[in-house]
Amino acid sequence: MRYFTLDEFDSPDLPGSGAFMQQEFLNLLDAARGYAEVPFRINSGFRTQDRNKAVGGSVQSSHLTGWAADISATTSNRRWLIIEALIYVGFNRIGVADTFVHVDMDPAKAHNCLWLY
């Protein structure tokens, strides 16, 4: 990866767990980061069951299997740049919140989805 290190995706309660991220997902996210030309700060990558429960994540969260990340985005312009880049490189599962953008490519879930938190 050009723009990320695996530790950026670690669950806070399990150092080194960024290694559980799916390589296909990381490659596409790295491409999106390059297209956006702005830093992507990862709020949440891989999550352990305990961490997922602590943050109120879904029991079927794609973070549990390494197919998802939440990217910090605290302004409307930053959200636009991130979402534009994610769509450009081929992501088609995106969630938008006031302070972050969720992206995943979980093969077990429906595609072409956009939602709000």
Q: Which amino acid is at 94?
A: I
Q: From 86, 84, 59, select the one nearest 70 (Cα to Cα).
A: 86
Q: From 99, 107, 75, 100, select the one nearest 86 (Cα to Cα).
A: 100
Helix 76-89 vs helix 23-36: angle between axes, to the nearest 10 degrees? Answer: 130
Q: Which amino acid is at 28?
A: L
Can you give the pTM of this predicted structure?
Answer: 0.96
pLDDT for 29-70, tens place per residue?
A: 999 999 999 999 999 999 999 999 999 999 999 999 999 999
pLDDT of residue 99: 97
pLDDT of residue 17: 98
pLDDT of residue 85: 98
Consecutive H or E run containing 70: strand 68-72
Residue 110 binned pLDDT confidence (cut-offs 50, 70, 90)? very high
